[in-house]
Structure formats: structure tokens, C-alpha cells
Amino acid sequence: MKVAIYVRVSTSEQTVANQRQALCEYCDRRGWQIVREYSDEGISGAKSDRPELNRLMQDADKGKFAAVCVWKFDRFGRSTQHLLKSLEVFKGLGIEFVSVSEAIDTSSAAGKMLFTMLAAFAEFERGLIIERTHAGLRRAKAEGRRAGPKAKQVDRARVRQLRADGRTWEEFCSETGLSKGSAWRALTGRDSLTGLKSRQPKEGAWKD
């Protein structure tokens, strides 16, 4: 069987040599042919954009190998959701996934069962998050509170001083921490920036 191996280390001081050796020995024992190695070195597993992992997924779609072999789950996936999403892609393409350290092989009955269990737990977790979100929104509505982040408080005296100083919108927003739209609504209660220039607001635009 044609296999791709993926190895990764988080820092430039680390080496992928041990992972590579373990994967090569494993594939050799099973009589698998390693057609390509994908290696991301000095890249955190939390990053969504990994050059070699991206290339592996592209080559998987092109049918360049029949299985992907890694040393551990955490070398490949940045989260449970990412891992399961990738495994779903491989499943759809007819590509098996093997994690040597965890002794997981999706081509085996036990591996298929574990994959199903992981997917079920991930769906359960998503359901809990949605349920908690909806419960929070209902509670806020029942208590007469506005759901979501609190509106920024505006110091009207400071705003008037900044206006008197002739600050531009960019300077004003930088000093108050408000976006241009939020600043405009906070100052005037209006919903449009019509008539404002990027450097200096018209005098009428600043009126309360």
C-alpha cells in the first residue's frame, strides 16, 4: 500500500528524526511503501496554516497515496474538531489513517469503532455548546438584559475635548478605542457615516 507519513515539531531546536525513524520502521514491518514524507518543522500544532500539512491534504485529494501515517494525533491535528474533520475527508477519499503511538488504524475494525466514538463525542460537545448559548440568550431575554458584549461607555467630556482639539476620525478612534461606526453612533445616535471625511469631519457631523 502506498503511504504518506507526516511529521512535525514545534521549535527549530527539535528534530523530526525520531518520528521519521519510528514511522519508517512501522511501515517497513507492514510492507507499506512510503511515497512521500511531509515535514513541518518549527511550527506549532495550534496553527491552522501549515505548509506541508496543506500540501498533504492537496495530494490526498489527488489520490497520491492510500494511507496517512503519523506518530501521534497531536503531531497532526490542532484540535479534536480539526482531526475529525480531516479524518472525514480521508474517509470520503478512501484513505486510511494510522497513529502509531496510539495504535489507531482506521483500516481495522477497532480503528473504525474508535473513529465513530470520537465523532459522537465531538457532536455531543457541539450540542452542549449550542445548548448553553441558547440558554444564556433566553435567560438574558427573560431578565430584560441585552445579550452579547456590553456597549462601550463613552466619556462625553473627553469626546467634546477631542472634538475641540480638532482630532481626525482616525486619531479620535485610536484614543477612545471605538470604531468609526461605534463612535458616530455613540456621539449622535445615528446609524450612518454619510457626509464624513476620513481626515476631518464636517462641523455639522459632530453636532449632538
The rounded distance, in Å, linking the Cα atoms of 104 and 87 is 12
In 3-state terms, what secondary structure has residue 166? Answer: coil
Residues 178 and 101 grouped into a single domain: no
> Do 107 and 172 sit in the same domain of this protein?
no
Number of domains composing the chain: 2
pTM for the full predicted model: 0.57
Residue range(s) defining the domain that contains residue 200? 156-206
Tell me, yes or no, whether 151 lies in a domain: no
For residue 68, the cross-strand partners are 4, 97
Distances (CA, A) of 13 to 17, 24, 42, 84, 171: 12, 22, 8, 30, 43
Are residues 177 and 103 located together in one domain of the fold?
no
The three cell numbers locating residue 21: 525513524
Q: What is residue 39's three-state secondary structure?
A: strand
CA 82 to chain centre: 8
Rounded CA separation 106/78 (Å): 19
32 belongs to a structural domain: yes
Same domain, 101 and 8: yes
Same domain membership, residue 165 and residue 107: no
Provide the CA 34 distance to its chain's centre, in angstroms: 30
Could you read off the pLDDT of 89-107 as tens digits, one per residue? Answer: 998 899 999 999 888 888 7
| Residue range 11-59, pLDDT digits in tens | 878 899 999 999 999 999 999 999 999 999 988 877 767 899 999 999 9
Instruction: Respond yes or no: is residue 12 known to be catalytic.
Output: no
Same domain, residue pair 83 and 171: no
Q: Are residues 107 and 23 in the same domain?
A: yes
The answer to whether position 24 is within a domain reads yes
Q: If we measure between CA atoms, which residue out of 54, 49, 39, 48 comes closest to residue 8?
A: 39
Residue where a domain stops, chosen among 111, 131, 165? 111
